[in-house]
Structure 1
């Protein structure tokens, strides 16, 4: 069986996926505003040879549930949330091999400035930075950013296509590989004939300018994406290198993985150009009983209300208006279409609010994998074989306990079975994952903008 990739999944906030865990007496996530918290997190991840840390982000607040953000403010559910890019330099300085994926929203971030910020991080991390491309789904974010309303779902992806074209022009084409001479004798840092302005005049964006950063180790950062709608899958298959999916079972993941890889082949990239990673939560102990006891301990701190508020925002449906046994109706919303479809038109039978709450074991809608290290390794291997996944995004529960438990207990078992690498290879993040030079391959659309 192939070796899996594993990322520690987190967010620059108190509560990320499993809501309420910050109230546990051993949890330290209240220290999320302290750099030491993030440096310790990174060192633990690298000690476990994890491929990277993936930082989620959200612009706006979850205010669909009961028509108010009160539930998430009360629970600290992704609010307050700090900028995900800020801790990366410190984490990179404290590590040597660990990769970093960071979420930035194309709808609200000017491409010209984002190009410089990502190139700067690629330099400072020595080529270990990745970008998770999102287009947003919250009306609260649109209002906060001065929009009358959130742009339509597919229009957001259309604009993101153009956004990426600008970035590819800047990252791949504005500076030649040999533009920087750093010639002290001739007092010439760069050859002006090998540096050029990028011009773009499109439907959504207009700009003209030279990329402000010299070529970085990867030029274009490793590209992540998590779109699961039909339009999102097309976007991911064309641009992304790593795609995140969230499904309740391996069997549910398999059709999405296969569809993504087929589409990548249609775009001329090949199925191996995409690594698909599943979202998992793990509660592990030295024995099965210890893991179950730990789960029951954690459950006492889970917030179902915060989880419902989070899910309401994801789907665009106010679950507070449903009785426990009322089936959730299919409605047209402008939020996360795949999240809504999973409990409506794609569900084998109508899903009720009670069934959704039953899934919220630790304050999220994903049931955890619970057991001894050997049992957890078995389950992860099943996800890879039956779900056709390439690896996992590992959500935290109690921080830093959950990551340390995984690193100390599960990773050695996976390594013994040959399911996870024994050590890192050298080179930029893309090279570690895909081989090659660390640059995007010629089959990727970005390559068309190289000189």
Structure 2
């Protein structure tokens, strides 16, 4: 394996503060699914406590900033199927859930296209303080045209422009959280009547193409300073961004050989920047269907399939990619030129054959989609599949994308965790420390000294 610490593997839970999300957006219609309770804190309390008791590393919140209005030329189908809608703000959930838990970490998606770095640095700094360092940031550049219009733009920024803005955004974040307060700035001495050492808190005076920020950060340094950095870009530009900034790469891929090749590329790019391969960890999105017997596991799959609806998945695909399949007959080739999530555009087979609408519909006719990573069977079967996949792919772990909530998480905790633990693939010891310290081999709370962000720190005199 190419990862730095293959065993035990890392496991987190993928969630979204909306009704129609997860492995298949229509499965909120399943009789046992509870996502209609998305507005209830009790629902999220149960998710967080179950995840903590199962000793998962983190609860990961995906997010969107607009409606999926590509399919059929409007948001009607998305609203009918609740595809990524309603979408509540995960920043509001996390403080409550952090107070209800002691060990579980929280990763929040935030966009470099529509956020402002000064305000975001303040929110992340505050959250990191009150959670004792249990906060991560999933860095996205966003992909919905509806989001662009929600923020006063005529159209979405081009792919390259979004990443160019993101690079400057990260510079401002680092200047604020890593550089504006020196390591010895906080004295907090009542007798001397000094909170911060004079001269140790400096403005950043950033003037760039997209941002002008005087600084300094309004929050004092938290235990991590910068939240642990997650990133999911898989395009060449996305991989370059990961090599520069990411500490955890999240992959929407299933083929272990494709994953291994992509990770090798990211690690090569990182090495050219002076970052060792072990500084960047990796996880893939995975769906898990399990039961005590193979027959019962297959029955669960069949039950999910009977509650699965293709149209909802095509609404999701259209929103992700910008390709509206409602306009195409099965035999019509699609344009795969997209300013959306290019890694989600299903390819034809063979690769030089034009992709048709029928190809995509057939790919998505089953509950787990043609592109999804699925582990299915008895607990031993699932553990075998995970172990084999990790060995080939070089992944550090998996992000569980629940098909039914809370069923998927409950089944994983009850059936799969004991089996993985018995094989040394799962860390059953209660988590401690910051999120970053759990990912780093040296257990440090701070960005690695070889990271790009660390170069913005003040040098002590």
User: Shift of residue 218 of structure 1?
Assistant: 0.2
State the partner residue of 2:177.
171
Change (3 A) 1:344 1:143: farther
* Equivalent runs, 1:284-433 vs 2, <5 Å: 284-330=290-336, 332-340=337-345, 342-343=346-347, 347=351, 349-360=353-364, 361-362=366-367, 364=369, 366=372, 368-433=374-439
Native 8 Å contact 1:359 1:367 kept in 2: no
* Cα distance change of structure 1 residues 363 and 409 upon mapping to structure 2, 3 Å threshold: closer
- Partner residue, 2:3: none
Q: Is structure 2 residue 20 aligned with structure 1 residue 12?
A: no
Does structure 1 residue 449 correspond to structure 2 residue 456?
yes
Please name the residue that 1:39 is paired with. Answer: 45
Residue aligning to 1:243: 249
SS of residue in 2 equivalent to 1:167: helix
- Equivalent residue for 1:187? 193
Match of 2:59 among 53, 56, 71: 53
Distance of 2:266 and 2:348 partners within structure 1: 22
- State how 1:100-249 maps to structure 2 within 5 Å: 100-249=106-255
* CA RMSD across the alignment: 1.7
Consecutive unaligned residues of structure 2, counting only runs of 5 or more, are: 1-5
With the length of structure 2 as denominator, give the TM-score of the two structures: 0.94
Q: List 4+ stretches of structure 1 deviating above 6 A.
A: none
CA distance in 1 between partners of 2:354 and 2:389 (Å): 25
Q: Secondary structure of the equivalent of 2:383?
A: helix
Q: 1:69 & 1:382 partners in 2: Cα distance?
A: 41
Counterpart position of 2:269: 263
Matching of residues 55-74 of structure 1 within 5 Å: 55-74=61-80
Q: In structure 1, how many angstroms separate the alpha carbons of the residues matched to 2:433 and 2:350?
A: 42
Aligned residues: 449
Deviation string, structure 1 residues 409-428 (Cα, Å, up to 9, x no partner): 11111110011112135311
CA contact (8 A) 1:20 1:363 kept: no
Shift of 1:324: 2.4
Q: Distance in 1 between matches of 2:379 and 2:361?
A: 27
Distance 1:351 1:375 in 2: 34
Give 1:346 shift: 9.0
Residue 151 of structure 1: how far off its partner (Å):
1.1
Distance (Å, rounded) in 2 between the aligned partners of 1:248 and 1:432: 25
Render the CA deviation track for 1:97-146: whole Å, top value 9, x for unaligned: 21111100111111100000000110111001000000111111111110
Q: 2:90 aligns with which of 84, 96, 113?
A: 84
- Cα 1:354/1:371, change in 2 over 3 Å: farther
Return 5+ residue gaps in structure 1 as ranges: none
Q: CA deviation at 1:345?
A: 9.7
Deviation at residue 367 of structure 1 after TM alignment: 5.8
Identify the residue that residue 289 of structure 2 maps to in structure 1.
283
Q: Is the Cα–Cα contact under 8 Å of residues 225 and 240 in structure 1 kept in the other structure?
A: yes
Aligned-partner SS, 1:253 = helix
> Displacement of 1:350 after TM fit?
4.2
Closer, same or farther: CA 367–139 of 1 in aligned 2, 3 Å: same
Q: Is the 8 A contact 2:252 2:343 kept in 1?
A: no
Residues 47-75 of structure 1, C-alpha deviation per residue, up to 9 Å, x if partnerless? 11111111000111111111111111100
SS at match of 2:167: helix
